[in-house]
Amino acid sequence: MSSETWDRETMDDQSGRTVVVTGANSGIGFEVAKAFAERGAHVVMACRSLDRANAARKEIRADVDDAALSVEELDLADVDSVRSFAETFRTEYSDLHVLCNNAGVMAIPRSETADGFETQFGVNHLGHFALTGLLLDRLRETAGETRVVTQSSGLHERGEIDFADLHGERSYDRFAAYAQSKLANVLFAYELDRRLQAAEENVISVACHPGFAATNLQRRGPEKSGSRLRLWMMKVANAVFAQSAATGALPMLMAGTDSDVDGGEYVGPGGLLNMRGAPEKQRSSDRSSDEGLARELWEVSVDLTGVSYDLPDLRSTAGRSPAAEK
């Protein structure tokens, strides 16, 4: 499908499909949930705050007749909460067609999750790593091709994985920590797809990024640090430069539904500096395609979360992800 024409109206009918969207109560997650509901999917809104999630569900239902929406509690900053959500999902839902790993935090002052992880790395990467592993069997058991879509950022290109100080205990820069977590998202998406391909599963894994979209994500860092100047600058940037959250949701929607998108690919806006515009398949950074780095991150993630995957342990130390060749 040509990226020049891809928009919400391009989405195929999603009736009979079940979709999980993390962080579905606001911003891009809200728009992704709404778009899937418009196309007939049963959307599970996986959110930390049940009050905000229920308010968002009510808002979507006001615009979408007969929207099939469920709300479930999920705190990605707590592995026990991730396990509880996965257990509830496996008990109450028979299928999972698309898992949208969307929720995230950006450029916040250093803090730690319930498990002692640096919050940006813990929420953006480790929480979703654990969630995907715990829902993998449901994805496998669902008939037809199923997908895991992991939200990254163009800032992944600046990211480095600092295994010697993964949680920023010795030195912490909020934007470097964010970039590290977003690089981890792409590394994970590609490594997951390689392992799924090796196991000949019906599941594919895709990475995406929203470009520069006006959401609450940019506001939380300045708010938490008490910086009025940074908060004002973020508001101005959102007003002047950013595209809407609805447009920012398009890469995740394309990655989750378009038949021309294959596993191991990377989808983002095709306009100015890849920050806005219609979605297209793109090339991510060279570092994101380092299979040795991805495997090391995978092993560390298993150790930290206690969540392992019943997939082949790939031992190639060189090569590129499928997306890097496209």
Give the CA distances from residue 151 to residues 114, 207, 229, in Å, rounded to whole numbers and listed in that order.
22, 6, 28
pLDDT value for 153: 97
CA angle (280, 146, 144) in 5-degree steps: 120
The pLDDT value recorded for residue 309 is 98
Task: Indicate if 178 belongs to the active site.
Answer: yes
Domains of the chain, CATH where assigned = 15-306+315-325 (3.40.50.720)
Instruction: Give the per-residue pLDDT at 141.
Output: 98
**52 CB burial (10 A radius; 0-12, 13-18, 19+):** middle
Pairing of strands 266-269, 279-282: antiparallel
Higher pLDDT, 156 or 221: 156
pLDDT one-digit tens code per residue, 25-42: 999 999 999 999 999 999
Q: Which two tokens stand for residue 11?
A: 């989405």
Reported as a single tens digit per residue, the pLDDT across 108-130 is 999 999 999 999 999 999 999 99
Dist CA 221 CA 205 (whole Å)? 29
8 A C-beta contact, residue 8 and residue 33? no
**CA–CA separation, 207 and 142 (whole Å):** 21
Rounded mean pLDDT, 87-105 = 98
Provide the b/e sequence for 152-188 (b: ≥16 CB within 10 Å).
bbbbbbbbebeeeebbbeeeeebebbbbbbbbbbbbb
Give the C-alpha separation, 129 to 106, whole Å. 18
Percent of the chain predicted with pLDDT > 70: 87
**Global pTM value:** 0.90
pLDDT bracket for residue 315 (50, 70, 90): confident
Q: For the residues of 251-320, what is the DSSP string, one character each?
A: HHHHHHH-TTPPTT-EEEE-SGGGSSSSEEEE---SGGG-HHHHHHHHHHHHHHH----SS------S--
Mean pLDDT of the chain: 91
CA pair distance 45, 150, nearest whole angstrom: 16
Specify the pLDDT at position 233: 52
Annotated catalytic residue within 93, 178, 266, 309: 178
